[in-house]
């Protein structure tokens, strides 16, 4: 009788949190070209995270400078609580590491495969979205691909 008004578990509520699997899939999308992936990821994370949570290093050629282009992303550093996720692009190849940092002191630094870095980033972003409505909204946008 009242079951018509209750959403099924498959439908989910509109204000429900972002799903970890969906975020992971969105982060893995188009990761074949690392340079393009790093540029898109840097833009998406800049929108999704609070100021100061992401740092992006770029290599700007003379042509980039003359034409006002931002240049190629060479490194992305994401700081979420004590976890620091670093993605470097070296000669078109990703180099990823996960660090634990407390009050500016790096306690551990672990190089990880790119896929593991993406999984750790997705998990950290979902955790961040649970505490921030703005981050949750930006992650929904990332997952939707718009």
Long-range contacts of 54-61 (CB under 8 A, 24+ apart): 54/78, 54/79, 55/79
User: What span, in angstroms and rounded, lies between the C-alpha atoms of 142 and 41?
Assistant: 9
54-59 and 93-102: which strand pairing? unpaired
Distance of CA 20 to the CA centre of its chain: 12
> By the 8 A CB rule, do 56 and 73 touch?
yes
For the stretch 6-32, pLDDT in tens is: 333 333 333 445 565 666 666 655 555
Cα-flanking dihedrals φ and ψ of residue 25, to 5°? -65, -40
Please state which of the ranges 31-35, 84-88, 100-104, 105-109 shows the lowest mean pLDDT: 31-35
For the stretch 60-83, pLDDT in tens is: 888 888 898 888 889 999 998 889
């Amino acid at each position: 009788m009242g079951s018509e008004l209750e959403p099924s578990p498959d439908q989910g509520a509109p204000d429900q949190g972002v799903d970890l699997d969906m975020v992971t899939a969105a982060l893995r999308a188009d990761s074949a070209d690392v340079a393009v992936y790093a540029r898109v990821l840097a833009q998406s994370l800049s929108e999704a995270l609070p100021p100061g949570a992401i740092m992006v290093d770029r290599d700007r050629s003379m042509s980039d400078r003359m034409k006002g282009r931002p240049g190629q992303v060479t490194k992305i550093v994401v700081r979420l609580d004590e976890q620091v996720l670093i993605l470097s692009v070296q000669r078109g190849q990703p180099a990823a590491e996960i660090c634990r940092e407390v009050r500016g002191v790096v306690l551990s630094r672990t190089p990880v495969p790119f896929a593991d870095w993406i999984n750790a980033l997705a998990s950290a972003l979902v955790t961040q979205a649970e505490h921030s409505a703005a981050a949750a909204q930006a992650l929904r946008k990332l997952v939707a691909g718009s």
